[in-house]
Amino acid sequence: MKIFTTRQEVAQYFTHKTGKTVGFVATMGALHNGHISLIKQAQQVCDEVVCSIFVNPTQFNDPKDLEKYPRPIATDIAMLEQAGCDILFNPLVSEMYDDNEKWHLNIGELEHLLEGKFRPGHYQGVMQVVNKLFNIIKPDVAFFGQKDYQQFMVISKMVELMQMPVKLIMCPIERETDGLAMSSRNVHLTADDRQHALILSKTLSWVKANFNSDNIPQLQQQAEAMINTEPGIVLEYFEIVDGDTLFPATHQTQKVVALVAARAGKTRLIDNMLIV
């Protein structure tokens, strides 16, 4: 696996690579099998696979959260090599950002719903860095996990508005055997937190199993109650929405998704499930 740390190295490498399809997986490191599943999917449809590891400061609302974000780079490199990834792009912040750099792209209400409500400015930071990465790597196809469902929609909107020549593919959530969605943040969970956190995937599965488009408000209330009665869990939101708009689902909605965010102890977790 080739490791590049500067834009120049990446640009130089790809000037000599014509006719090959490039697949791209953007990560913030602390890799797990969810990330590796994206690499594997990329390998199936692309000639060459690039993974980036960059803990992007502009998408963190809380400086403490940025500070404690796990950065096990040696382990990450070993995992990527074992997965057969072709290229790692691992830049410093100074390589990606100039001082006092400004960015804003108006994507409408999508930015302010769900995650956007709880993490104002977060998606501007996500778009800012993904735009940079797309311009540096120039992938043909980019792969993102379904766990960040809203993020996928945000990036799709940016690609559409900026007319970027990249195809986006959303890959299914990878779960632990007990149902917990794989996340880099899971390393912060105590044994008790982890046990309590299972209520998130259990509740999503319950909603899927009991879904009836005529009683969505009641289902949502019951789901909230299930999570609120679990010790050590503080619910931020549980929403049953239209999968194309993130507005509340109605009995006419064709594509229904349930999304949840909660704190297990001190760790904030998100999860979702396609219901219909």
Outline where the chain has alpha helix (H).
Answer: 7-15, 33-45, 63-68, 73-83, 93-96, 115-118, 122-137, 149-161, 191-209, 216-228
**Residue 72: strand, helix, or coil:** coil
Distance of CA 76 to the CA centre of its chain: 17
CA atoms of 267 and 274, how far apart (whole Å): 24
Place of tokens 């899927």: 208
Query: What residue has token string 């909230």?
Result: 224
35 is catalytic: yes
Distance CA 149, CA 113 (A): 12
Q: Which residue of the set 35, 122, 188, 196 is catalytic? A: 35
Nearest alpha-carbon partner for 124 in 100, 158, 149, 163: 158
Tokens linked to 72: 């096990």
Are 186 and 70 spatial neighbours (Cβ–Cβ below 8 Å)? no
Which residues are designated catalytic?
35
